[in-house]
């Protein structure tokens, strides 16, 4: 039998993503981003994101169909991010997916955004090159470290459809958010991650020893591998303030490099500890922060030393996109999973 042709819609944050897959084969991954509109506010504004999704939805669906070379009638199933994410933004994608599924009379699957990030690693297709590892050969179980502007989560994935366990998440700022806040502190533009990365390349990562925040107070951490980045951010702020108060110049490159080193250290120490503790010899990275050059470099070194297989999907599939949602949808179809029906709601706090 031919594998199912699935269209996936992602609108949990600022990216309107529409992807089309046939089983594990990527056919289209159309994206529209409203980031330019948020930049001047220094953060994603939910109202603006939702309105931008509304405007971008139909053109992005049309572009995905054209890129995949298929017509809407050929789609076998529709998948959509049901949560977690920004409520208004999610609602636009969920409404569009419901309308589409009803219009073409096909099953609709609501999927979890975070698990979608893992589903990205199943895909292979023309011109698709992984950042690390080989394309489309996700093996399970795996530990997955998902790091973006909206989330910092560590998952144990035994089965994409039925067995995903949350091992840890941030109790305050997401990793990308920490990059964005420290960038602002250093006078760099938003979103700050790429700018910190660029500036840090000229700095000394050992110049300042910022706290790692590896151990959290027991009453704050809910999971064994929870993260916290607000202490690190505050410590960078204090350090910079002191320099300024003393009338000294702020060594921006050294601060950026030292901060980046601390974030990378915390993320990988916990992720690889989970691999070790749970006996899982595989680590998958996902999310926009994977664009960080130092994170990928240190991950490769430490995974190798620990005997852990590191997998990093192509960067176009690491940032939020519709193809990863379609990929997970295709897994649900293949597993004979029941569709979600039409009366589910977007769930901004979906676990
Ligand atoms: O996954 P993504 O594109 O969007 C969502 O957060 O939903 O991730 C964006 C985040 C931003 O916080 C951005 O600053 C961060 O990823 N980022 C980086 C880098 N490139 C993007 N952080 C560190 N280093 C980078 N090179
Ligand atoms: Zn994401």
Q: Where are the domains of the chain?
A: 5-129+317-334, 145-313
Query: Hey, do 5-129+317-334 and 145-313 end up sharing a CATH topology, with the first three levels equal?
Result: yes
Is-cis flag, bond preceding 220, omega within 30? no
Written as six digits, the tokens of 21 are 């897959």
Q: Is 192 in the pocket of ligand 1 (CB under 6 A)?
A: yes
Distance CA(145)–CA(289), nearest Å, equals 10
225, 231, 236, 239 alpha-carbon torsion, rounded to 10° = -140
Q: How far is the CA of 260 from the centre of ligand 1 (A)?
A: 13
Q: Ligand 1 pocket, 191 CB below 6 A?
A: yes
Q: From the annotation, which residues make up the binding site for Fe cation?
A: 113, 117, 320
Residue 1, pLDDT score: 66
Dmax over CA atoms of the chain, in Å, equals 72
Q: Look at ligand 1, atom 23, and give the residue with the nearest C-alpha.
A: 193
Question: What pLDDT score does 220 carry?
Answer: 84
Residue 308 C-alpha to ligand 2 middle, in angstroms? Answer: 24
The distance in angstroms from the start CA to the end CA of the chain is 34
DSSP classification of residue 151: -
175 ligand 1 Cβ < 6 A:
no
Return d(Cα 263, Cα 252) in angstroms, integer. 16
pLDDT computed for residue 138 by the predictor: 87
* Residue located via tokens 């921006």: 252
CATH no. for 5-129+317-334: 3.30.420.40
Residue 83 dihedral angles phi and psi, to the nearest 5°: 160, 175
Cα–Cα distance measured from residue 206 to residue 323, given in angstroms and rounded to the nearest whole number: 39
Relative to the alpha carbon of 81, which ligand is closest?
2
Binding-site residues for substrate: 146-150, 180, 193, 197, 292
Q: Where are the beta strands (DSSP E) in the chain?
A: 5-10, 15-22, 25-33, 77-83, 108-112, 142-147, 152-159, 163-169, 282-286, 309-311
From residue 141, give the alpha-carbon distance in Å to each of 111, 145, 156, 165, 329: 19, 13, 7, 11, 19
* Ligand 1 close to Cβ of residue 292 (< 6 A): yes
Given strand 5-10, what is the order of strands in its sheet?
25-33, 15-22, 5-10, 77-83, 108-112
Please give the helix or strand (H or E) that residue 39 lies within, else none: helix 35-39
Cβ(149) – ligand 1 distance below 6 Å: yes
Q: Does ligand 1 lie within 6 Å of residue 119's CB atom?
A: no
Nearest ligand 1 atom to the CA of 175 is: 12
Number of the ligand closest to the Cα of 114: 2
Ligand 2 center from residue 199 Cα (angstroms): 25
CA 166 to chain centre: 15
Residue 207 makes CB contacts below 8 A (sequence gap 6+) with: 251, 254, 255, 257, 258
Kindly give the parts of the chain with pLDDT less than 50.
none
∠ CA 147-153-159, rounded to 5°: 115
Query: Is beta strand 108-112 parallel, antiparallel or unpaired with respect to 5-10?
Result: unpaired
Q: State how far the Cα of 90 lies from the Cα of 93, in Å rounded to an integer.
A: 5
Measure the CA–CA gap between 80 and 341, rounded to whole angstroms. 12
Give residue for tokens 């975070």: 114
Q: Is 135 helix (H, G, I), strand (E, B) or coil?
A: coil
Rounded distance between C-alpha atoms, residue 200 and residue 334, angstroms: 45
Q: Which ligand is nearest to the CA of 287?
A: 1
Cβ neighbours of residue 88 closer than 8 Å, sequence gap 6 or more: 46, 47, 49, 50
Q: Does any ligand 1 atom lie closer than 6 A to the CB of residue 112?
A: no
Quick one: angle between helices 252-278 and 175-185, nearest 10?
Answer: 170
Contacts of 184 (CB under 8 A, 6+ apart): 42, 190, 192
Task: Give the atom of ligand 1 at the shortest distance from the alpha carbon of 177.
Answer: 12
Task: Decide which of 3.90.1520.10, 3.30.420.40, 3.40.50.2300, 3.40.50.300 is the CATH code for 145-313.
Answer: 3.30.420.40
């Amino acid at each position: 039998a031919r594998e199912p042709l699935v269209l996936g819609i992602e609108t949990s944050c600022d990216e309107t993503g529409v992807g089309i897959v046939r089983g594990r084969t990527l056919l289209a991954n159309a994206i529209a981003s409203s980031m330019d509109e948020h930049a001047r506010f220094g953060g994603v504004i939910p109202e603006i994101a939702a309105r931008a999704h509304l405007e971008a939805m139909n053109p992005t669906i049309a572009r995905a169909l054209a890129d995949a070379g298929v017509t809407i009638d050929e789609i076998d199933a529709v998948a959509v991010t049901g949560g977690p994410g920004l409520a208004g933004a999610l609602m636009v994608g969920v409404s569009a997916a419901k309308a589409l599924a009803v219009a073409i009379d096909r099953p609709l699957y609501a999927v979890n955004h975070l698990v979608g990030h893992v589903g990205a690693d199943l895909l292979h297709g023309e011109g698709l090159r992984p950042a690390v590892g080989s394309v489309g050969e996700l093996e399970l179980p795996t530990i997955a470290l998902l790091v973006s502007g909206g989330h910092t989560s560590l998952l144990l994935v035994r089965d994409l459809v039925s067995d995903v366990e949350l091992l840890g998440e941030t109790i305050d700022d997401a990793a990308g958010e920490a990059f964005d806040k420290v960038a602002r502190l250093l006078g760099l533009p938003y979103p700050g991650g790429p700018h910190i990365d660029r500036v840090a390349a000229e700095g000394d990562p050992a110049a300042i020893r910022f706290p790692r925040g590896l151990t959290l107070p027991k009453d704050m951490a809910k999971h064994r591998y929870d993260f916290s980045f607000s202490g690190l951010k505050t410590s960078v702020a204090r350090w910079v303030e002191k320099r300024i108060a003393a009338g000294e110049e702020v060594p921006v490159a050294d601060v950026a490099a030292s901060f980046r080193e601390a974030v990378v250290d915390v993320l990988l120490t916990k992720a690889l500890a989970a691999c070790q503790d749970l006996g899982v010899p595989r680590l998958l990275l996902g999310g926009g922060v994977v664009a960080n050059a130092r994170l990928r470099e240190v991950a490769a070194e430490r995974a190798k030393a620990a005997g852990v297989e590191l997998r990093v999907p192509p960067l176009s599939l690491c940032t939020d996109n519709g193809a990863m949602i379609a990929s997970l949808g295709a897994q649900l179809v293949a597993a004979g999973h029941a569709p979600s029906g039409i009366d589910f709601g977007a769930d901004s706090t979906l676990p």
